Amino acid sequence: MRILILSDIHGNLDALKTILDSERYDAVWFLGDLTDYGPEPHMVLDTLRDLRPEVWVMGNHDYANAHGVDCGCGEKTHDLSVYTRENITQKLLTKEDLEFLKSIPLYREIRMDARDFYFVHGCPADPLYGYMFDFMPECMRNEIGGMIHTDILLFGHTHFPVRGIKENVEYFNPGSVGQPRDGDPRASYGIYDGEFHLRRIKYPVDRVVRKLENLVERRDYLERLKSILLKGKV
């Protein structure tokens, strides 16, 4: 089986569709954050629901929209998050969409290929807000402080792809589909076919920029959003 691994789409339908049209896959795992920053969160949600991911976990931005709370995201982009949430995401998602977001779990565990897989957006100790740019043993705890034992850990949230093995745990972050921030503006995603593979693909970013120009009235915010998309970094 060939599994497509996606995370942090952030309303960028063009990046998502480019991946889906170019890649061969039998199933999908989604690690959270389909909303905010981008122009088409409603269409990203519809596309994901049509895909019926076998694994889907809650992202901090999706939780913020579903429950009307702050995203708890990084200081450098927090104001962009609030602005796009209030002026794009909340205007385009229906009440039914928000109820659906509320139903998404904070984490998932499955067993496959004789191995245990743990899926989360941030990190096990802090599923929504914990940043893990590389493996951090202190993050391998549950909400009551107990140790989490798994063979494979999949996570997102940082917008930086990473793959490694430490303390007998194989870990993988596919990076961000719609908001890469590692200096490479191409959409980032992963493939699992018994092994993990990081992938990058160029998509029509100019099309996303034009859509934002029609939605974002604040020129300073628009220029920052465009810069992130075009440069792949904050």
User: Which range (11-15, 30-34, 121-125) has the least confidence?
Assistant: 121-125
| Mean pLDDT computed over every residue of the chain | 95
- The alpha carbon dihedral of 133, 136, 140, 145 has a sign of negative
Tens-digit pLDDT profile for residues 29-39: 999 999 999 99
* Residue 27, burial from CB neighbour count under 10 angstroms (0-12, 13-18, 19+): middle
Residue 138 has a pLDDT of: 77
Averaged pLDDT, 69-78 = 93
Domain extent listing, the chain? 3-106+176-231
Contact 229, 209 (CB under 8 A): yes
Residue 178 has a pLDDT of: 98
Both tokens of residue 55?
């694994």
pLDDT at 202 over 90: yes
Q: Tokens 């990046």 sit at which residue?
A: 15
Averaged pLDDT, 60-70 = 97
Averaged pLDDT, 151-171 = 95
Residue 144 has a pLDDT of: 63
Query: Does CATH place domain 3-106+176-231 in 3.60.21.10?
Result: yes
